Structure 1
Amino acid sequence: MTGTTDFTEYVNLAARALGAGVVAANDEWFAEKENLLKPEPPVFAPHTFGPKGQLMDGWETRRRRGASAEHPHPGPDEHDWAIVRLGVPGVVRGVLVDTAYFTGNFPLTGSVQAAALSGTPSVEELLDPAVEWTTIVARTDLKGDTAHTFEVTAERRFTHVRLNIFPDGGVARLRVYGEAVPDPAWLDGLTVDLAAQEYGAVAEAASDRYFSSPHHLNAPGRSRVMGEGWETRRRRDLGHDWVRVRLIGQAEVLAAEIDIDNYLGNAPGWVALVGRDASVDPDVWFELLPRTRVQPDTRHRFRFADVPPVTHVRIEVFPDGGVARLRLPGRLTEAGLAGLRGRLDVTG
């Protein structure tokens, strides 16, 4: 299915910042496979040539040829492919295949497959015929210079995807949106960032996202510029702004880091944190951090003691402004770990 969907609100599991990589491709004659995962939008500089032709910001293969002059075109099943290791394993909700700036050199059709492998498989292991590849996007027509979106309904946990293009051509970007499903065996007993995207936490609601997305709040790494955080419009009323984060599971929050990096004239004046345990009562919120003055372009750290378990945390900013990152170090409870184990059982 193509068209505008809301699955882009999920985490891009194929983000380089999460550790994703293009581990193999059968051909990358004109443009490198690694371009598929570049975070920035593709660009095009016409009449810019290298030894192999026009420089393209994407992955581009050479032209396939048939067996003879009498049969110069490749067979219907001949195709090129690239394999991507997801940054974090997860359930895929949607895929974006962008052929931006590929006009006379885009593939006719394409498909996407996914596989689940343990550990850190080598390229040789990924290419083993015994690997089970599940089709998550059936072979479909592609257009040039177009961002194609496809919803995915497979309720399985995958670690790798394979983009197939028929018979050849170029694709600028690939995005794989979904829900991270971490391994509870890894998290058991560890203190981790309970709000981190890489473990499946989600900024699931926000009062305002005028200038930038609340999903930036729990993105990996530190923000480099103002646009890599969450920023609201200027309020002209007596209210305040907020983001609600669903944690990776029921957990004990031990501390908070509220990073106002790169927000100077548009920093909040004050922040607060409240939490709830939705498994007990989704309507009851309690205070974690009272309304506290914050400084522009500064990381603020707070430690907690004797905080009840929570499944959600809401950061509140007064009256408005920008926050770069929210980190919530803590430990999953036994109930939180059990919830993750149950999800892993369901999704494989």
Structure 2
Amino acid sequence: MSVDYVEYEDYTPDNETEKNITRAGVHSSSSQTPLTVFLVTVNIIICVIGLGGNALVIWICGWKMKRTVVNTWYISLAISDLMFCAILPLEIYYMITSHWPFGLVLCKLTSSALSLNMYSSVFLLVLISTDRCIMVSFPVWSHNHRTVRKAFGFVILMWVLSGLLTLPSLIVRQTKVHGSVTLCYTDYMSPSRHREVALSRFICGFLFPILMIVFCSLVLCVKLKSLTMKSTKPYKVMAALIVSFFCCWVPYHTFILSELDLENITVEAVHTGLKVGATLAAANSFMSPLLYVFIGNDFKHTLKRSFSSRIEEAMAEDLRTVGYNHSRSKTMEIA
């Protein structure tokens, strides 16, 4: 998710690029502004909550709840978010120091993590929306053909597609040594490649998936009005996931597209907007566990049962230990 300081000027000639990197390095090394401190703090919170929350979702949905199609979607979503949060500490270090000591491979992998998380998350939301839409529209067919095995197959295809779409972001990331500082930046090489990567990221990772999700949501709304449902909680969770994704990613895509038209917006505005937008996009990775806890009844009840059973087991073990020690002391007194 790193916000590179030369992304919008990388396709200039070599000597000019060197000047840009120099200015970027000087600017970044001396720019521990209140905004940077705030964003670093927010990213640390995202990392901690995201790691714990998504690990909890994987544990609950994977081991404590019956394996279903819906759980398969949610486990996959949690894995995507967990992978991103696991690599986030490297980005936090880069935000603080403006120095990348981890090498080219990790520069490419960590900087592509946000794109991979974006694609996998939005494609999973498309799968969830489509699945719900089919369930309501074709209940008999869904009952006969909707299986966990098929859902797992769709998840595999989703990960392959997400990986392929992330390749451009992986390729353009480079490292460059400037004095004692190593920068991890984006080298688009030409304005046309910059435009292609930015537009493909927006169209494939946001516009088309959101249109599909909106269509499925409209169909669901129409169908649900004519049905008597025992519980609408699953649909509320789905709606909350979609809204949180939309709110978290709109600013990021707005400033990514703004990079393509620097004549009407300043470099400083784009730079600041990308930092804020990337942090807000990263926040989407810890929203799902919170939504499951506060909205999802099944997840909430299973979570309570899991913790209560663990506490009961611990208390029972303590009682057995106390009882054993007490009976042993009595035996020793009689002897």
TM-score by length of 2: 0.22
More helix by share: 2
More strand by share: 1
Higher relative contact order (CA 8 A, sep 6+): 2
Structure showing greater radius of gyration is 2
